[in-house]
Structure 1
Amino acid sequence: MLKKILLTLIIFTGLAAYAGENFLNTVVLENNDGAYSIVLRSDEVAKVKKDVEAPDKIVLTLKGISQSPDVNTLYKNTPEVSGLVIQNSGNNEVKIFINAPDISKANIIFETPNSAPILVGEAFEEEKIVWSVISIALLLLVMRSARSISAEPEQKDINKVIKEREIALYRNFQKEVASMPSMNYKLKSYKKHVLKGETIRNYESKLTRV
């Protein structure tokens, strides 16, 4: 059971390491009827933290992702954008600084080759569900393993108690047998009394004859 748990942890560790090879390829800033959308095109969905410094100034921190050497920035109907800077912070972390009117209300969308566009909020919910299922599965495996380990000593104790009881019963039986009077002794005593009685009767009959 412990081997299964270790194998599961190794698999998920390997998946996490593989997920570290995620690259941010393009950042698209578009304005649709006054509503901004920030589209992040990458290999896989990454964790995003949005810090609002002002209504027109935000900082996006992306974790589990690196900036591609030839990352592109595209602007669609956004003439009022005053700044967009992409900074590779290292350790699989990228920061994006954006200045634009009401940019704090912008939607953040991930586009990856293997999935349809995903809103950051939806991605977080899916991630929470997945990791909750994984955590529950690992917890059940650990509990099952702990029960198996704790059950073995208990079984040994039961067997020991049964064996001790059997030994005690056997010893009591030996004592009872030793304390019981011997049947042979009774028979021998009975024979002695009979022979003695016969001898006395024979002696008396002889005296009578004389």
Structure 2
Amino acid sequence: MSAKSKLVISSVIFLLLGIAAAFIVYQPTLMQWFEDRSKLYVSSDSGLKSRFYAQRTTAIQWSQLLPDNEKFVLQKYQQRQASTPTQFADNILLSLEASVDADYSAAMSSINSVDTFDNKSVSIAGFIVPIDFTEDRSPGNIFIVPYFGACLHFPPPPPNQIIFAQLGIGFTAFELTQAYRINGILRRGLFEDPLGTSAYILDVVSIEAFFENPDDFRQH
């Protein structure tokens, strides 16, 4: 093999090694870029995104945000779908019993939270209730809730089943009746507004569409 051929082969090997090293170094950034391209909303806060991706993301359910004792009380008064007069009457009796149960009333207005996911990277599915809108008419301050149409069919969820979040501009694909998976860093914190009170705050990194029932706790 000539010296020129050896030089070409060596150059190709070094080039391939350089590409492989660059891929290893920049793989997390490249993967994040491709993931962000598929999202409906992505935060512009690079510091927040760095903190989010530095941790393993945990997919959480709404029931996990309830203290165990309150979860038990709320489950006791779950309404069942009534398909017969007897089942309908049972639901009426259950509602009457709940109306005089002090523990149930307390649970329905509880701001008690759990610290399991405090300052953790999480992913949770739910519906978005806008509090106000940004300059591009996308939601700004929002509540994230387990189910849609609470004011029509179900009582509003207690504060420890509502999450407050702030979004920047860019979520122009928002639809009120669409469920979403919201990714971010969760923390305990009280936020009060005439529209409602929340016991959790989520620093949102990204949002994507969700096509199942987000609520794992209530009967619908």
Structure 1 length-normalised TM: 0.21
The structure, 1 or 2, with the larger RCO (C-alpha pairs under 8 Å, 6+ apart) is 2
**Greater Rg, structure 1 or structure 2?**
1
Structure 2 length-normalised TM: 0.20
Q: Could you say which structure has the higher helix fraction?
A: 1
